[in-house]
């Protein structure tokens, strides 16, 4: 009961904040980024937004949804459809049962001239994007049991020993390596297209590049 009340209070605060923010928007696209994680991904994109000096009223980021499965993220984004120029749903594949369902639901959304919604996926998880800042790899992280993402984090710890889910300042720590990560992500995408697989892969670079060019559009 207490957690439900807390969620409702947070939801009301978010709604009030969004209402105030919309009055302060600038002339470029309005964007909503809905993240699966409550900390890691929102922290990353908030730091990127601040580094690019993008208006927080134009680029709104939330990990504050009720649940963290892909379908929950997509449902939340679809509820905001039409309120923004672009909506990005950022989620992992890992072992989520609703991954394919979430992708299918976005594909079925009727097109709009004023709003687009897109899935930004990472396979198996967001940490694969971080790993690409250090090395290019097409390793299949599949495992018969447990979290596949744990394997990625184990590999990542070779470069960031202190890394844990929810670590603050990851973007700021790695921003000088961002061009390397984008280059590696593109190489992985080529590999996936040729091999007919999505494991591993990440579309985070696409969203990062879009934000980098947002004020220029």
Q: Average pLDDT for residues 115-125, to the nearest whole number?
A: 97
Domain map of the chain by residue range? Answer: 2-216
Query: Can you tell me the distance from the alpha carbon of 213 to that of 215, in angstroms, rounded to the nearest whole number?
Result: 6
Nearest to 181 by CA among 128, 122, 124: 128
pLDDT tens by residue, 28-84: 999 999 998 778 999 999 999 999 999 999 999 998 666 679 999 999 999 999 999
Give residue 165's pLDDT.
87
Q: Average pLDDT for residues 180-188, to the nearest whole number?
A: 98
pLDDT tens by residue, 128-152: 999 999 999 999 998 777 789 999 9
Give residue 3's pLDDT.
45
Strands, E assignment, the chain: 31-35, 59-62, 86-92, 116-123, 201-202
Contact present, 141 and 151 (Cβ < 8 Å): yes
Q: The pTM is what?
A: 0.87
Q: Residue 91: which H helix or E strand, with range?
A: strand 86-92
């Amino acid at each position: 009961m207490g957690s439900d009340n807390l969620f409702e209070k947070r939801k009301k605060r978010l709604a009030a904040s969004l209402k105030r923010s919309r009055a302060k928007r600038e002339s470029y696209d309005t964007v909503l980024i809905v993240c699966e994680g409550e900390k890691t991904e929102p922290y990353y994109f908030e730091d990127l937004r601040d580094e690019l000096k993008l208006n927080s009223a134009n680029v709104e980021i939330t990990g504050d949804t009720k649940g963290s499965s892909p379908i929950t993220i997509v449902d939340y984004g679809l509820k905001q459809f039409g309120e923004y120029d672009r909506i990005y749903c950022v989620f992992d594949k890992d072992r989520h049962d609703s991954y394919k369902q979430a992708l299918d639901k976005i594909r079925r959304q009727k097109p709009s001239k004023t709003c687009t919604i897109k899935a930004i996926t990472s396979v198996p998880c967001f940490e694969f994007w971080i790993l690409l800042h250090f090395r290019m790899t097409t390793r299949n992280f599949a495992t018969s049991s447990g979290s596949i993402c744990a394997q990625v984090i184990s590999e990542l710890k070779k470069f960031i020993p202190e890394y844990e889910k929810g670590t603050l300042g990851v973007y700021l720590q790695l921003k000088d390596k961002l061009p390397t990560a984008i280059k590696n992500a593109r190489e992985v995408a080529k590999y996936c297209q040729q091999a007919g697989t999505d494991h591993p892969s990440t579309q985070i670079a696409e969203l990062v590049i879009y934000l980098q060019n947002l004020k220029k559009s």
